[in-house]
């Protein structure tokens, strides 16, 4: 009785705070992994790690059988998942402050602290080790039997606790190992503890793969079989009840944060089983192209609307996709002087639904005598595929049609929009058949997840060219390459630091409009505009290399001739092109219009 008296005195002396009514306001309107990330921010802010020893203080309010409405004994003893009998008398009980482990040889010897997510998976690091939302009181012997096994439903039991919890072979679809199965009464509690953990520690959970319920990613975090099972436990087997709500309030009072899936059970499906968004945004309006220079044009438009939210705008130039923007304004750079460019814009939402085109707006670049080189390749990594926090080899087709590959990389981080994150791997195109010359390369980097500053190597045609630095903040590097021909280009980690580095906005110029040698000016192209066949009228029998580039700088045609020839351009799309003609070291470029 002495211990019970002290417990009641302790409980009555602790002020009990309610979770603020606006606690989750910043998550309103979000779904999917965007919602999970915002919840992580909410429950990380204010989390005050009380330490491992203080968990017993937290248990005095969070894990006590003292609510008459539950149907439990309401006797002030510890409420534990592997001890409580929800349908009758408990096989044994513990009072906080007595029978704390210690040694044990059987059930009922003593109680200790169990990590729902085994602490071995995160190296016993704080604050994970001390987090009351997943570190719960447990019978020591039952805790030892559960060990580090994943939770699941048991087909054939090898051990059964006195309250009916089981250890044995899995009959969960998708997992065939040994699992531990709690009573139905507590399956939802355990599911929500795990879902809390993968949300609160989202930035690190991809490394906790020794726990077999985790899949090595930060977004989904859980294996498919675990997601299906935990959602079933949460939604159907054991929904949130008043005992759990009161425990959540007590945990908030103890360490300053709450389990969002207790307060808002609907968040679980919104993250791991969201209703598909099939509604497209409205069309952007009032697009205006303005402020032309020799190589740039400014664009601005009125925002589109969407039932969930617009995430990005795709800008098209003369009917071809050019680049994307997260804002309602943008500037197209690396344009060719004295050419009229026409733009349209589409809106996209997070589900990939796409609006129709905006109005078209056209503007002509100036011509002040400069000849800027257009970007031959301008890769923004928006096409790298499904978001993934695991490290693997990733291959995709870039927005310029070039095939790219990154090794030991992940695709779930963002810099200026989506980015590729490389650890101990490489990044580069796999095919240079349409690229012959690289002048200047530009790329933006930033390290994520901690570490030190460092560099990657830029290697062209097997030769080291320059280092690419990275650090805490975004760094944009411009490197003079001047290599012709180019047969390979690789960016690779030159150290063993295992720093994780984002790469974005990787572009290079192809020297397309370098100063022309007008000794070739007597070559004539006709007709211009052209519909099908273009005649190249040579005034000599000198071998001439003909290359045709679209306005984005991508080569679309190549041939060598040594006499006047007709070139079949029927397959080219309508638009503006640049024809580059080379004889030896001499080059001339001319504008061509394809009807």
- The predicted pLDDT at position 4 comes to 30
Q: Which tokens is 483 given?
A: 């290599």
- CATH fold of 285-368 reads Immunoglobulin-like (2.60.40)
Helix (H, G, I), strand (E, B) or coil at 76: coil
Q: What's the CA gap between 65 and 282, in Å, rounded?
A: 54
Residue with tokens 């409205």: 282
- Which sign, positive or negative, has the C-alpha torsion 351, 356, 361, 366? positive
User: In a 10 Å sphere around its CB, with 0-12 CB exposed, 13-18 middle and 19+ buried, how is residue 531 labelled?
Assistant: exposed
Please choose, from the candidates 465, 352, 506, 491, the residue with its C-alpha nearest in 3D space to the C-alpha of residue 409: 491
- The predicted pLDDT at position 184 comes to 95
Please choose, from the candidates 386, 443, 446, the residue with its C-alpha nearest in 3D space to the C-alpha of residue 414: 446
Mean pLDDT for each consecutive 10-residue tract of the chain (595 residues)?
30 54 92 95 96 95 77 86 90 92 94 97 96 98 97 96 96 95 96 98 95 96 95 91 92 96 93 83 95 89 86 85 86 76 88 90 76 64 90 86 89 93 93 67 92 92 91 90 78 86 87 41 74 83 85 81 89 82 78 78
> pTM of the entire structure?
0.49
Q: Which tokens is 505 given?
A: 């906005």
Domain range annotation of the chain: 2-18+31-272, 285-368, 378-509, 518-594
Integer CA distances (angstroms), 185 to 80, 129, 294, 333, in order: 11, 25, 71, 62
- The predicted pLDDT at position 312 comes to 86
Helix (H, G, I), strand (E, B) or coil at 527: coil
Please choose, from the candidates 468, 447, 446, the residue with its C-alpha nearest in 3D space to the C-alpha of residue 457: 468
**Contact residues for 441 (Cβ-Cβ < 8 A; gap 6+):** 458, 478, 479, 481, 506, 507, 508
Residue with tokens 């319920």: 213
Fold match between 285-368 and 518-594? Answer: yes
Integer CA distances (angstroms), 497 to 29, 327, 452, 492, 571, in order: 39, 36, 8, 13, 49
Q: Which tokens is 64 given?
A: 């006590």
Q: Which tokens is 98 given?
A: 């007595």
Please choose, from the candidates 288, 201, 196, the residue with its C-alpha nearest in 3D space to the C-alpha of residue 234: 196
Beta strands in 87-148 (DSSP E): 111-115, 135-139
- The predicted pLDDT at position 130 comes to 97
Q: Provide the β-strand partners of residue 374.
A: none
Supply φ then ψ for residue 27, to 5 degrees. -90, -5
pLDDT in tens, 168-192: 999 999 999 999 999 999 999 999 9
378-509 is classed CATH 1.10.510.10: no
Helix (H, G, I), strand (E, B) or coil at 396: strand
Ramachandran category for residue 49: left, alpha or beta (phi over 0 → left; psi -120 to 50 → alpha): beta
| Domain boundaries 518-594, CATH class | mainly beta
Crossing angle of the two packed helices 55-62 and 242-255, in degrees rounded to 10: 150
Q: What's the CA gap between 395 and 412, in Å, rounded?
A: 15
pLDDT in tens, 237-292: 999 988 999 999 999 999 999 999 999 999 999 999 877 778 899 999 999 999 99
3-state secondary structure 41-68: HHHHCCCCCCCCCCHHHHHHHHCECCCH
């Amino acid at each position: 009785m002495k211990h019970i008296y002290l417990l009641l005195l302790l409980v009555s002396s602790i002020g009990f705070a309610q979770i603020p009514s606006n606690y989750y306001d910043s998550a309103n309107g979000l779904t999917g992994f965007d919602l999970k990330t915002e919840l992580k921010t909410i429950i990380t802010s204010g989390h005050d790690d009380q330490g491992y020893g203080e968990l017993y203080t937290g248990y005095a309010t969070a894990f006590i059988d003292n609510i008459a409405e539950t149907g439990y004994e309401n006797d002030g003893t510890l409420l534990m998942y592997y001890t409580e009998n929800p349908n009758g008398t408990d096989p044994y009980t513990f009072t906080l402050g007595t029978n704390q482990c210690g040694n044990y040889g059987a059930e009922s010897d003593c109680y200790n602290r169990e990590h729902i997510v085994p602490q071995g998976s995160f190296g016993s690091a704080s604050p994970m080790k001390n987090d009351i939302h997943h570190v719960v009181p447990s019978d020591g012997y039952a805790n030892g039997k559960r060990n580090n096994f994943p939770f699941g439903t048991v087909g054939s039991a090898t051990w059964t606790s006195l309250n009916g919890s089981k250890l044995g072979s899995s009959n969960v679809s998708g997992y065939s190992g040994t699992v531990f199965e709690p009573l139905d009464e507590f399956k939802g509690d355990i599911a929500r503890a795990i879902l809390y953990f993968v949300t609160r520690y989202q930035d690190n959970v991809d490394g906790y793969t020794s726990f077999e319920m985790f899949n090595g990613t930060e977004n989904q975090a859980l294996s498919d079989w675990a997601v299906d099972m935990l959602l079933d436990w949460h939604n159907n087997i054991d929904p949130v009840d008043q005992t759990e709500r009161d425990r959540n309030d007590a945990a908030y009072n103890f360490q300053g944060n709450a389990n969002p899936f207790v307060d808002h059970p609907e968040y679980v499906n919104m993250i791991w089983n969201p209703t598909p968004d099939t509604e497209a945004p409205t069309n952007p309006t009032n697009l205006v192209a303005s402020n032309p220079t020799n190589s740039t044009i400014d664009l601005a438009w009125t925002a589109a609307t969407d039932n969930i939210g617009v995430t990005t705008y795709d800008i098209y130039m003369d009917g071809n996709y050019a680049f994307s923007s997260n804002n309602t304004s943008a500037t197209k750079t690396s344009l060719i002087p004295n050419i009229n460019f026409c733009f349209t814009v589409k809106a996209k939402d997070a589900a990939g639904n796409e609006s129709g085109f905006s109005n078209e707006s056209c503007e002509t670049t100036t011509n002040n005598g400069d000849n800027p080189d257009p970007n031959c390749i301008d890769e923004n990594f928006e096409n790298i595929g499904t978001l993934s926090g695991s490290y693997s080899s990733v291959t995709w087709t870039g927005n310029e049609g070039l095939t790219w590959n990154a090794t030991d990389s992940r695709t779930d981080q963002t810099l200026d929009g989506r980015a590729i994150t490389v650890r101990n791997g490489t990044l580069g195109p796999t095919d240079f058949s349409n690229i012959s010359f690289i002048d200047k390369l530009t790329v933006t980097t930033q390290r994520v997840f901690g570490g030190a500053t460092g560099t990657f190597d830029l290697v062209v045609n097997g030769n080291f060219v320059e280092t690419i630095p990275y650090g805490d903040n975004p760094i944009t590097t411009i490197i003079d390459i001047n290599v012709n021909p180019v047969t390979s280009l690789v960016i690779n980690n030159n150290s063993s630091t295992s720093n994780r580095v984002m790469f974005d906005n990787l572009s290079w110029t192809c020297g397309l409009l370098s100063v022309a040698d007008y000794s070739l000016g007597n070559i004539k192209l006709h007709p211009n505009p052209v519909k099908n066949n273009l005649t190249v009228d040579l005034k000599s029998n000198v071998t001439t290399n003909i290359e045709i580039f679209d306005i984005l700088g991508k080569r679309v045609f190549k041939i060598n001739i040594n006499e006047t020839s007709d070139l079949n351009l029927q397959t080219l799309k309508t638009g503006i092109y640049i024809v580059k003609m080379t004889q030896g070291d001499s080059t001339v470029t001319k504008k061509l219009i394809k009807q």
